Amino acid sequence: MKYRLLAFPVVLVALMSFAPVGPTEPQVSQPSIDDWGRDRLAWTCEFEDEDDDGFDKICVYDCFGSRKEIKVDSFDDCPSSIRD
């Protein structure tokens, strides 16, 4: 019985030596709500303008204050809205 009581702390110390010391990588700051939302939510962008670029047509969209452009074939119509 005495040996079992002495073995418990020895085993506990041995197991604790394998425990990680702490985080090895620097912790990154939390993203802002705009960054978080842009990654996880799909925004509907409304058509704003179009411009010809040789064989392509550039379609310009308003995505809640930010500008988004896509290229389509010059013979195709620009979509009325896109998901960003």
Per-residue confidence (pLDDT) for residue 47, from 0 to 100: 94
Structure tokens at 61: 């969209």
Say if CB 49 and CB 60 are below 8 A apart: yes
pTM attached to this predicted model: 0.50
- Mean pLDDT estimate for the chain: 77
- Show me where the domains of the chain are located: 43-84
Q: What digits encode the pLDDT tens for the residues 13-37?
A: 766 666 666 666 666 666 666 666 5
For 7, the 3-state DSSP assignment is helix
Residue closest to 79 by CA, chosen among 50, 54, 47, 53: 47
Share of the chain above pLDDT 70, in %: 55
